[in-house]
Amino acid sequence: MIFAGITKSSLLDYPGNISIVLYTPGCNYDCFYCHNRELIEDLTEKISIEDIMDLLNKRIGLIDSVVISGGEPTLHFDLIPFLKKVKSMGYLTKLDTNGSNPEVIKNCIEEDVVDYYAVDYKAPASRYKEIVRSNADAEVVLETINLLIENSKTFEVRTTVIPQLSINDLIQMAKELPKLPRYVLNPYRTPVNYLPKDEELVKTPPYSESEIAEMASIIKLYQTNVILPF
């Protein structure tokens, strides 16, 4: 397993738990607002698996969970063996994913290696390729989400409320999604690193927290379990 970043202690990434967050390089999406662009382009220095395991061994009993984020972790062939090893150490596990690889998620479910999933739903289906800028398919992401529901897994879906999404977009997304146990609307923050061609997009003024809260009150008509992280 290859990692290119680490947060040694987080109270935010796994609800109710203290986590170590490990970031995998590489992604099959190219969202203009990505906060981990250096991971998309695989420009970061790699962290040896020996250093990762040494840290995990030292933190047993001090940290509750290990979060695998990215980049897109499901692109890595040895994700499941690594998760098995982490669980054998007594940690809870969480997987952050863009939902583009339902077959990998199916395998994770069958092997019972993930305790909590977080899936990003980026845009209305009709705008998915525009926002994600790849061959992304919202239907594939919805397949991943439905797999988690059908198998009674613990998960949340997340949407970053970028300024390019209107309330009508958010309503359409809420209608497209199945009934969710937890739907997190995250505020948009300007990324530090972005492509020069995207400067106008990334510097569009964001919605305020009060505006997002107002949007959430409308979205709750379609998704009752909306969460605001502020």
In whole angstroms, what is the distance from residue 90 CA to residue 87 CA? Answer: 5
C-alpha closest to that of 116 among 196, 15, 9: 15
pLDDT above 90: percentage of residues in the chain: 90
In whole angstroms, what is the distance from residue 17 CA to residue 37 CA? Answer: 27
Supply φ then ψ for residue 76, to 5 degrees: -95, 125
pLDDT of residue 100: 97
- Residue-wise pLDDT for 124-171, tens only, equals 999 999 999 888 999 999 999 999 999 999 999 999 999 999 999 999
pLDDT of residue 45: 74
In whole angstroms, what is the distance from residue 30 CA to residue 150 CA? Answer: 29
- Residue-wise pLDDT for 193-204, tens only, equals 899 999 999 999
Instruction: Write the DSSP symbol of residue 63.
Output: B
pLDDT of residue 38: 80
With a cut of 70, say whether residue 42 has pLDDT above it.
no
β partners of residue 21: 7, 67
pLDDT above 70: percentage of residues in the chain: 98
With a cut of 90, say whether residue 37 has pLDDT above it.
no
* CATH 3.20.20.70 correct for 5-227: yes
Q: What is the pTM of this model?
A: 0.96
Mean pLDDT of 176-193: 96
pLDDT of residue 41: 67
β partners of residue 7: 21
- Count other Cβ atoms within 10 Å, centred on residue 159: 21
pLDDT of residue 43: 59
Work out the widest C-alpha separation in the chain, in whole angstroms: 49
C-alpha closest to that of 113 among 149, 69, 160, 66: 66
Domain ranges of the chain: 5-227
- Residue-wise pLDDT for 198-224, tens only, equals 999 999 999 999 999 999 999 999 999
- Count other Cβ atoms within 10 Å, centred on residue 208: 10
Taking the alpha carbons of 51, 63, 106, 219 in that order, is the dihedral positive or negative?
Answer: negative
Mean pLDDT of 105-126: 98
Mean pLDDT of 54-66: 96
